Structure 1
Amino acid sequence: MLRFMPVGDSMTIGSAGDHTWRYRIWQHLCATHDGPFTLVGPRETLYDPSTDAPTSYRYADPGFPRGHLAGWGEGWTHLAPLIGDAVRETRADVLLVSLGLIDLGFYTNPWQTAQNVRAFVAGARAAAPRVRMVVLPVVPNIRCAADDSFAAEVALFNELLAKAVADLDEPRSPLLLASVPPSYDLHRHTYDGTHPNPAGEHQIAAAFANALHQGWGVGAGYDG
């Protein structure tokens, strides 16, 4: 049984009523991956705007493995200290990680954020020396479009993230850097300039699925 753990911020946890990209990649792997697999994580809920807390189970389709380690407003700085226990608890084999926007927006500069990436990887490996990770760069949001200095910070962090992935990649615990979907469009793929709408969920799922397929032969390319 191959265990995938989605790890991320508000784009990954999703909001009440969403399918989430987690659901989209699960559907894709069901159709294209040979062998048993599941999604795991210590959390299962969606963010609920009415309570301003992760208290909702109101998925658009709840019929999938809903485990994850994601939180509204959480970043590398929040989840690096938690990843070791989460990996040990769930016996995750592959981490699908989308983090960084919150860090850069509120907590850490690009260099500090990159250091937290390295701490995250170290924590995951301390729990499972053969864990694999696919990491998505920060997808630019509406603030990047309106604030050149923030856009530059995001671009710099993505460069530092690529370097960290290259530095930390090793045969027994490989790392893959996914690609920001080239056709991702804030107006067509988000509902508020940041959070994915259904079309955006497919875009993010495709980024992870294509990395898994191209890098490790897992599943197939994503044409959804």
Structure 2
Amino acid sequence: MLRFMPVGDSMTIGSSGEHTWRYRLWRHLCATYGGPFKIVGPRETLHDQATGTPTSYAYADPDFPRAHLAGWGEGWLHMAPLIARTVREHRADVLLVSLGLIDLGFYTSADQTAENVHRFVTEARSANPRVRMVLLPVIPNIRAESDTPFAAQVARFNELLAKTAADLDEPRSPLLLASPPRSYDIHRDTYDGTHPNASGEHRIAAAFADAMHQAWDLGEPYAQDAKDR
């Protein structure tokens, strides 16, 4: 059984009332992956924006495997120290990682963030030497439209992420860089310039699904009609 673990920030944990891209990807895998699989991770909740805490179970559709390792305001800096123990305890085979916006916005430079990516990969492999990882580039949010230095840091980090993925890739533990979500538009695919709405959830799920299909022949391409609805 293949065990997938979503790892991310506010765009991955989601907030009360949302489906999340995790749900969209699970639905896709149920329809297209030919073997048994499981979604794993130490957390299940959504972020409750009314209280500012990760305590909500109010998913738009709660009837799916909600496990994850994601948190509002968390980045590579926060996940690198947790990932070895989490991979070991939950026996994760594939990490689906969407991190970096928080790091660049509040904590670390592009180069420092890339160092934390390296630490994350090393720690994950210490727990499972055959773990596979799919890394999503940072999607520039609305801040990048008006904050030129921040936009430059996002672009710089995405370049470093691509280099890191290429440098650290190895046959027994593949490190795959997904393409940015196709046709993603923060004015159409988010509800606030950062966090995905339904169409954004589909596009992020598609980025992960298409990367795994193209590189590993896992599942099928994400359905075009799903991306557009």
TM-score (norm 1): 0.99
Alignment of 1:97-136 (within 5 A): 97-136=97-136
Spell out, residue by residue over 1:84-122, the C-alpha distance to the aligned partner (whole angstroms, 9 max, x if none): 011011100000000000000000000000000000000
Q: For 1:135-146, what aligned pairs fall within 5 Å after superposition?
A: 135-146=135-146
Moved over 2 A (4+): none
Rounded to whole Å, the distance in 1 between the matches of 2:213 and 2:145 is: 31
Say whether residues 1:200 and 2:200 are aligned partners.
Answer: yes
CA distance in 2, matches of 1:182, 1:134: 16
Matched residue SS, 1:221:
coil
In the TM superposition, 1:166-205 aligns within 5 A as: 166-205=166-205
For residues 30-69 of structure 1, what are the structure 2 equivalents within 5 Å?
30-69=30-69
Q: 2:153 maps to what in 1? A: 153
- Give the gaps of 5 or more residues in structure 2: none
Alpha-carbon distance, 1:79 to partner: 0.3
Q: CA deviation at 1:181?
A: 1.5
How far off its partner does 1:193 sit? 0.1
Report deviation, 1:182.
3.0
Deviation at residue 147 of structure 1 after TM alignment: 1.1
Which string of whole-angstrom CA distances, capped at 9 and with x for unpartnered residues, describes residues 113-158 of structure 1?
0000000000000000000000000001000111111111100000
Counterpart AA for 1:208: F
Residue 70 of structure 1 corresponds to which residue in structure 2? 70
Secondary structure, counterpart of 1:187 in structure 2? coil
SS of 1:38's equivalent in the other structure is strand
* 8 Å CA contact retained: 2:182, 2:207: no
Among all aligned residue pairs of Structure 1 and Structure 2, give the percentage whose two residues are the same amino acid.
Answer: 74
Q: Is the 8 A contact 2:16 2:58 kept in 1?
A: yes
Instruction: Report the secondary structure of 1:188's partner residue.
Output: coil
CA distance in 2, matches of 1:145, 1:39: 35
Match of 2:13 in 1: 13
Q: Offset at 1:196?
A: 0.1
Distance 1:18 1:85 in 2: 28
**SS of residue matched to 2:187:** helix
Q: Quick one: distance in 2 between partners of 1:53 and 1:146? A: 29
C-alpha deviation, 1:20, in angstroms: 0.2
Distance 1:127 1:181 in 2: 29
Query: 1:72 offset after TM fit, Å?
Result: 0.1
Residue type of the alignment partner of 1:151: A
| TM-score relative to the length of structure 2 | 0.97
In 2, Cα distance between the equivalents of 1:85 and 1:18? Answer: 28
Q: The residue matched to 2:73 in structure 1 has which SS?
A: coil
Instruction: Give the letter for the 1:190 counterpart.
Output: T
The runs of 5 or more residues in structure 1 that have no matched partner are none
Amino acid at match of 1:13: I
1:165 matched to 2:168? The reply is no
Query: Which amino acid letter does the alignment assign opposite residue 142 of structure 1?
Result: I
Rounded Cα–Cα distance in structure 2 between residues aligned with 1:128 and 1:82: 14
